[in-house]
Amino acid sequence: MALVRRSDRPGLDRLVDEIEHSGGYAAGYIMDAVKEGAIETLIETVESDLGAIDVCVFNLGAQFGNLSLAETSLERFELAWRLTSMALFRVAKSLLPKMVERGGGTLLVTSATAAMRGNKGQLAHTSAIGGRRLLCQALSAEFAPQNIHISHIVVDGAVDSPDTLGRMIGRDRLAEYKHSLGQGKYRLLEPGHIADTYFHLSQQHPSAWTFEADLRTHQDLPWWNSP
Amino acid sequence: MALVRRSDRPGLDRLVDEIEHSGGYAAGYIMDAVKEGAIETLIETVESDLGAIDVCVFNLGAQFGNLSLAETSLERFELAWRLTSMALFRVAKSLLPKMVERGGGTLLVTSATAAMRGNKGQLAHTSAIGGRRLLCQALSAEFAPQNIHISHIVVDGAVDSPDTLGRMIGRDRLAEYKHSLGQGKYRLLEPGHIADTYFHLSQQHPSAWTFEADLRTHQDLPWWNSP
Amino acid sequence: MALVRRSDRPGLDRLVDEIEHSGGYAAGYIMDAVKEGAIETLIETVESDLGAIDVCVFNLGAQFGNLSLAETSLERFELAWRLTSMALFRVAKSLLPKMVERGGGTLLVTSATAAMRGNKGQLAHTSAIGGRRLLCQALSAEFAPQNIHISHIVVDGAVDSPDTLGRMIGRDRLAEYKHSLGQGKYRLLEPGHIADTYFHLSQQHPSAWTFEADLRTHQDLPWWNSP
Amino acid sequence: MALVRRSDRPGLDRLVDEIEHSGGYAAGYIMDAVKEGAIETLIETVESDLGAIDVCVFNLGAQFGNLSLAETSLERFELAWRLTSMALFRVAKSLLPKMVERGGGTLLVTSATAAMRGNKGQLAHTSAIGGRRLLCQALSAEFAPQNIHISHIVVDGAVDSPDTLGRMIGRDRLAEYKHSLGQGKYRLLEPGHIADTYFHLSQQHPSAWTFEADLRTHQDLPWWNSP
């Protein structure tokens, strides 16, 4: 298994170690997805190091928090797009032809509420990942008949992620929020249980593939409901 | 496991036998879902015969084939609604309070393309199951926080079902269509693989529930790309 | 112009008088839309009294306020459907063939937020008018090529209607709410300005018809945005 | 009135002349919307030449025809985004603050089928304008309460445009297609009738604004019913 992140080599190494100690095999890569050629090179490297990529999970997002139009620079607007829509397009250009040659493959794209509707303050994020959702549809229309399963997963809520959400709002506030409704009431999506569904999607038979599934906690209202 | 269908006692018995021979336990029931009190009584009977219903799969549809406005009688328009939207509402009225009392449960609703958009000739079907989709949303908004997982599965294509599609177009034509693209190319959703996803949905952890997932073969275009 | 409502003959007569005093011609009819044959008879009567119906505005809704599943009886669930989805279907059965014979016509359907997503407490309403939205799509797919313009207007907010909303929340509270943001800030849709768009839709040229338009005040968030 | 296009100065001048001969006032500008600073400068120039821009119609698209993933270069993918999503963002950055200062304004965004779903061969176009649709939603959430009316118009079909569609498929084929169904049956959206709806949208009262309207001919199936 290849793990890729933008920074934090020590954190990445710890994760690789954990996987190896539990009997798996993993390799960790540091990559800046907006750098020219970086995605393309990494895919070659991974395939050369570990063998053919059968399942690719694309997790990049561009949630910068709420910013007004005045606060959103052209640079940030472009960065959001480069990190999400353009980065997925580059993955597709590099990886899908290889998968087609090998007879199949799976591309799972982690998406979010902002791919479904544009909220105030989400100008850069919503246009970037809203466009990426339709990119996934167009990719699937071209590649599903060639046995490439593309799936767009709408993670519609906050994830229990000390490294990302925890850094944004503070680890203490995250933990407090997590337990605020009491035992057995989940207000944060747990990564391991998100992974259950990703694993299921990667195992679906070609006679019954899911293109889009949403995921949220039982305590969260979906994006289409207002409180 | 309780199996319910509208007719064909012998077919139902064969299925029950199959399940029992492979080590499961099943009971078969014949029920007319539009009959007053039938759904309500059946739920009581099943719970009394077999114990609490933890997972309910609601499969009723009203696909009568394409009919123009002139060909669609008021009676048929009403029947489509009684079989789908009203029947699900009655299931919810009878079953969800029991599940709430027991601390949780799962209701999986089989839906179809016509729940997403109204095609020509689908007047009765599309309004009935399109309304049912929003009924599922409103049920989920009320009951998900009470630990009832409601999921709306959009089966977006033809299912390999000799008893339903096979009866409509002929079993020979069904088999021919099924194999027309050659080995490894699926043009019909296979019930066993649909069931894989239903089983997964029934097992999702409450921190990461799916409300809606679509299912189609790798050779079929989704409803948003096709007529 | 024919005006139809369920009750309040004096109010209806006043409205007819107003129209006639300002130089128009109108006739008022009282009708119970769920009564068997009532819609069908009324359409015949209007055409016999006033001539061919060129534009029909269908305004019936079923917003009963928020009710839980326990509070929503089977009777109410059915009534919501009879008032909206079934009533429109009956209008279509009676009127569209006449319009086709005459070479064209317009059917404008007033809809609401609940046609787009199912909120908590809206079980009966959302399934009834959500289904009606897809009915409109299927009707348009059959009849637009026959020169019948069907348009589904999503009135996504509260209307300044002393007779309906005013009766629900009190006329004083309605007036207070209306002016609470100050001069020039509208929090209620004004019926006259809704009518501007209806009139525009009824005048669209067949080379550029609108099937769906939303309407809301500049101060209201659309249904897809959460606050 | 300011008219802006990328090329064809003589064509632009003819149009300005036509408007002036019929009693209007117009000025024509040539601009390359992807050039750094071009949009920003043009908005300043127009406001200095003609006065405050009250209504801005944004017409840029990126329909390059159908191209597979292999045929879609990174450059083209980026160009589609620069012409649509980024260009609108730049217009918003430059123009909306001025409108806010002046107490209001209107921004009408011409969109297309590809903003609603991603078809095969539309990778660059669909992700660019699909993202732009959600950008419009987020802009409206921020600016509608400040009296800026943003409207996203889904032109869901081919337009009778000798200069664009005519150039793509040939003017003869365009004319032939246009009349192929006979008198009174429109298969192409007529620009003058599209403009009727744009004009109506620009005149809507703030108590009843439309964010999204679709436009198509009576002979065309909507995107949700067609490939």
Tens-digit pLDDT profile for residues D67-117? 999 999 999 999 999 999 999 999 999 999 999 999 999 999 999 999 999
Of A141, A197, A205, which has the smallest distance from its Cβ to B221's Cβ?
A: A141
**CA A84 vs CA A80, A88, A189: distances in Å:** 6, 6, 21
Give me the pLDDT at residue B171, please: 87
Amino acid identity of A173?
A: R
Report whether C211 contacts D210 (CB < 8 A): no
Question: Of the ranges A213-217, B12-16, B174-178, which one carries the lowest mean pLDDT score?
Answer: B174-178
Give me the pLDDT at residue C95, please: 98
Give me the pLDDT at residue C196, please: 98
Asked whether the predicted pLDDT for residue A102 surpasses 90, the reply is: yes
Name the strands in the sheet holding C148-155, side by side, starting at the edge strand that comes first in the sequence. Answer: C55-58, C105-112, C148-155, C212-215, D212-215, D148-155, D105-112, D55-58
- Separation CA C202–CA C58 (nearest Å): 13
- Only one residue has tokens 């599609």, namely B165
Asked whether the predicted pLDDT for residue B54 surpasses 80, the reply is: yes
Structure confidence at residue B163 as a pLDDT band (50, 70, 90): confident
HSE (side-chain half, CA atoms, 13 Å) at A57: 16
Asked whether the predicted pLDDT for residue A88 surpasses 90, the reply is: yes
Give me the pLDDT at residue B227, please: 86
User: In this complex, how many residue pairs, one in chain A and one in chain D, have their CB atoms less than 8 Å apart?
Assistant: 137
* Domains of chain D, start order: 53-225 (3.40.50.720)
Asked whether the predicted pLDDT for residue C226 surpasses 90, the reply is: no
Burial A3-22 (b: 16+ CB within 10 A, else e): ebbeeeeeebeeebeebeee
Report whether B137 contacts B89 (CB < 8 A): no
Q: Search chain D and give the residue with CA nearest C178.
A: D207
Length of chain B: 227
- Separation CA B151–CA C136 (nearest Å): 26
- Separation CA A166–CA A160 (nearest Å): 8
Structure confidence at residue A178 as a pLDDT band (50, 70, 90): confident
- In chain A, which residues have their Cβ closer than 8 Å to the Cβ of C120? 225
Asked whether the predicted pLDDT for residue D121 surpasses 80, the reply is: yes
Report whether A163 contacts D147 (CB < 8 A): no
Strand, coil or helix: B34: coil
Structure confidence at residue C100 as a pLDDT band (50, 70, 90): very high
Report whether A157 contacts A220 (CB < 8 A): yes
> Which carries the bigger pLDDT value, residue B129 or residue C165?
B129
Asked whether the predicted pLDDT for residue A194 surpasses 80, the reply is: yes
- Separation CA D193–CA C201 (nearest Å): 12
Identify which of C117, C111, C112 has the alpha carbon closest to the alpha carbon of residue C225.
C117
Structure confidence at residue C115 as a pLDDT band (50, 70, 90): very high
| Mean pLDDT, rounded, for C191-208 | 98
Give me the pLDDT at residue B162, please: 81
The answer to whether the CB atoms of D140 and C222 lie below 8 A apart is: yes
Rounded to the nearest integer, the mean pLDDT of chain B is: 96
- Only one residue has tokens 């660059």, namely D124
ipTM of this model?
A: 0.96
Helices and strands (H, E) in chain D, number of each type: 8, 6
Report whether C164 contacts C61 (CB < 8 A): no
Asked whether the predicted pLDDT for residue C227 surpasses 80, the reply is: no
φ, ψ at C143 (rounded to 5°): -105, -20
The answer to whether the CB atoms of B127 and C135 lie below 8 A apart is: yes
Encode pLDDT of A111-162 as tens digits: 999 999 999 999 999 999 999 999 999 999 999 999 999 999 999 999 998 8
Burial C117-150 (b: 16+ CB within 10 A, else e): bbbbbbbbbbbbbbbbbbbbbbbbbbbbbebbbb
What is the Cα Rg of chain A in Å? Answer: 18
Give me the pLDDT at residue A137, please: 98
The long-range contacts involving D11-17, CB below 8 angstroms and separated by at least 24 positions, are D11/D163
The long-range contacts involving B35-44, CB below 8 angstroms and separated by at least 24 positions, are B39/B87, B39/B90, B39/B91, B39/B94, B40/B90, B40/B93, B40/B94, B42/B4, B43/B91, B43/B94, B43/B95, B43/B98, B44/B94
Give me the pLDDT at residue C166, please: 86
- Separation CA A218–CA B210 (nearest Å): 9
φ, ψ at D60 (rounded to 5°): -65, 135
What is the Cα Rg of chain D in Å? Answer: 18
φ, ψ at D149 (rounded to 5°): -90, 110
Asked whether the predicted pLDDT for residue A36 surpasses 90, the reply is: yes
β partners of residue A212: A152
Encode pLDDT of D23-54 as tens digits: 999 999 999 999 999 999 999 999 999 999 99
Structure confidence at residue C72 as a pLDDT band (50, 70, 90): very high
Give me the pLDDT at residue B11, please: 93
D105 touches chain A (CB under 8 A): no
The answer to whether the CB atoms of A208 and B196 lie below 8 A apart is: yes
The answer to whether the CB atoms of D118 and A128 lie below 8 A apart is: no
Q: Chain A: give the shortest CA distance to residue D118, in Å.
A: 4
Which uninterrupted H or E stretch holds B128?
helix B123-143
Tokens of residue D226, six digits:
């067609």
How buried is C198 (Cβ within 10 angstroms: 0-12 exposed, 13-18 middle, 19+ buried)?
buried
Report whether A24 contacts A16 (CB < 8 A): no
- Separation CA D132–CA A127 (nearest Å): 6
Amino acid identity of B109?
A: V
Asked whether the predicted pLDDT for residue A227 surpasses 80, the reply is: no
The answer to whether the CB atoms of D81 and A131 lie below 8 A apart is: yes
The answer to whether the CB atoms of C116 and A227 lie below 8 A apart is: no
Tokens of residue B80, six digits:
């489509």
Q: Among B116, B123, B134, which would you mutate to test the C interface (most chain C Cβ atoms within 10 Å of its Cβ)?
A: B134
D195-A69-D74 Cα angle (round to 5): 75
